[in-house]
Amino acid sequence: MDVVTQMGKYTPLKTQAAMMDAQIENDVIDAHLVVGTPGSLSNLIKKRILTIDKVKIFVLDEADNMLGQQGLGDQSLRIRNLMPKGCQIVLFSATFPPQVRSFASRFAPNANEISLKAEELTVDGIKQFYMDCRDDAHKLEVLAALYSLLTIGQSIIFVRRRDVADEIAAKMTADGHKVVSLHGKLASSDRDTVMDDFRSGKTKVLITTNVIARGIDIQQVNMVINYDIPLDADMRPDPETYLHRIGRTGRFGRTGVSINFVKDEKSYNEMKAIQDYFGCTITRVPTDNWEETEAILKKAIK
């Protein structure tokens, strides 16, 4: 919603955030552009607070995620079926996994498609590295050493589990870093506070699960760490999530760095599967020669 508001700043465009707790004047939405989740929009349509008979364009952002989740996909399809004849349907996403494509073709049949090959998806401005750790305890040691070594604008650390996010946050806070942890267990109001603090630069390190792997544009983020290699629901390497994660850095034409932590043959093979999928190079940096590591990463972050 912030992006939409900023883009329409010097136009007469009227926008409305359609959320469960949104303040809607006179219980009627008369905005030119409405932004909301499928659940909120469905509720507002049922209550006739939002009328859709004159909608010209219906957009799904992060469409692979919206259509790939059973509840969201069904809700989105129901709303789409209510749209007037002639309404343009647009689906946006950096990735469309094969299992989502059949749903997408039903959602927008005979659509014009603009796509890239998998090997063209990774961002040129992001230098990708990995660090070979002995075990979980060593991963935490390497992380602490990394942050004591480098001057980093802002960074995001992605983990698989909430307890690991909290453990890392406690360790880094004790080391004097301005850190915050974000995961699905937080109330939505607390999540908003966490993100506002990170956007403003009040906190420098955001440790999170996949809650913000998508759609967050913060110019100062110049490093992303995959503390755990991203896996899908079947515990297989997840290239789409990897791409969304590393895409949080190197934005607005800036350079960025992504670092993957591996701790055994299994996690190395998971990372290699992602590397092979994109046809990219993920370069090893040492964990036993910090002078060399510092030189490599400082050069990449410049």
User: What's the CATH number where 6 sits?
Assistant: 3.40.50.300
Say whether both 291 and 167 belong to one domain.
yes
Number of domains in the chain: 2
Say whether both 86 and 141 belong to one domain.
no
Beta-bridge mates of residue 283: 129
Measure the CA–CA gap between 144 and 196, rounded to whole angstroms: 25
What is the model's pLDDT at position 296?
A: 94
Say whether both 224 and 250 belong to one domain.
yes
Say whether both 142 and 222 belong to one domain.
yes
Q: How far from chain centre, in Å, is Cα 196? A: 16
Say whether both 183 and 97 belong to one domain.
no
The C-alpha angle 119, 123, 125, rounded to 5 degrees, equals: 140
What is the model's pLDDT at position 21?
A: 63
Say whether both 150 and 281 belong to one domain.
yes
What domain range is 153 assigned to?
119-301
Domain boundary among 116, 136, 171: 116
90 contacts 83 by C-beta, under 8 angstroms: no
Measure the CA–CA gap between 217 and 101, rounded to whole angstroms: 26
What is the model's pLDDT at position 179?
A: 93
Say whether both 112 and 127 belong to one domain.
no
Domain boundary among 84, 99, 116: 116
Amino acid found at 25: E
Say whether both 63 and 161 belong to one domain.
no
In Å, how far are 133, 202, 270 from 264, measured between CA atoms? Answer: 8, 36, 10
Mean pLDDT over residues 292-298, rounded? 93
What is the model's pLDDT at position 145?
A: 93
Say whether both 134 and 96 belong to one domain.
no
What is the model's pLDDT at position 155?
A: 92
pLDDT digits (tens, 9 = 90+) for 163-220: 999 999 999 999 999 999 888 788 878 888 988 899 889 999 999 987 665 656 677 8
Say whether both 184 and 67 belong to one domain.
no
What is the model's pLDDT at position 212?
A: 63
Tokens of residue 211, six digits:
């809650």
Say whether both 72 and 107 belong to one domain.
yes
pLDDT digits (tens, 9 = 90+) for 17-74: 887 666 676 678 889 999 998 888 998 999 899 999 999 999 998 887 788 777 788 8
Instruction: Tell whether the torsion through CA atoms of 136, 301, 2 and 71 is positive or negative.
Output: negative
Say whether both 55 and 192 belong to one domain.
no
Domain boundary among 116, 146, 173: 116
